[in-house]
Structure 1
Amino acid sequence: MEIAIFQSNSKSDLDLILAIAKKMGIDSKILSTEDIEDIGLANAIKVGQTREYIEVDSFIEQLSNEIKN
């Protein structure tokens, strides 16, 4: 499976690309803002995984310090 993402300031240009994709039998979907945020969050989680144990109290203290600054 291959995936392509298009972004355009022109709705008519994007509609044309989607129409061509449909004519060629290529599935397409317009992503909502929520879809884009979900993809970004999933990527951030994937990149941030270290598989190391973190002390909860230490982590909360670090967060508190970040908020105070």
Structure 2
Amino acid sequence: MRKDYIFLYLLFCLIGAGLEWCYGAFWDMVGVTPWTYPNSLLHYTSLEGLPLWGFGGLVIVSIFKSVIQRKA
């Protein structure tokens, strides 16, 4: 069970950062990007924000599980 949550945490970190990077890169191609991180290697996403994406994903999973397991 614990390994599942660690895997999900890492997965949400990567997915969130990837989506943020794609969103920033898309807006950079279209016109003006809404944000950039000049001190980051990825330029459109911050490495400091990775844990927040992971925790946010785990919160969504826990809410989803509690709603699914709820008895009507």
User: What's the TM-score once normalised by structure 1's chain length?
Assistant: 0.34
Q: Normalized per residue, which structure has more helix? A: 2
Point out which structure has higher relative CO (alpha carbons under 8 A, 6+ apart): 2
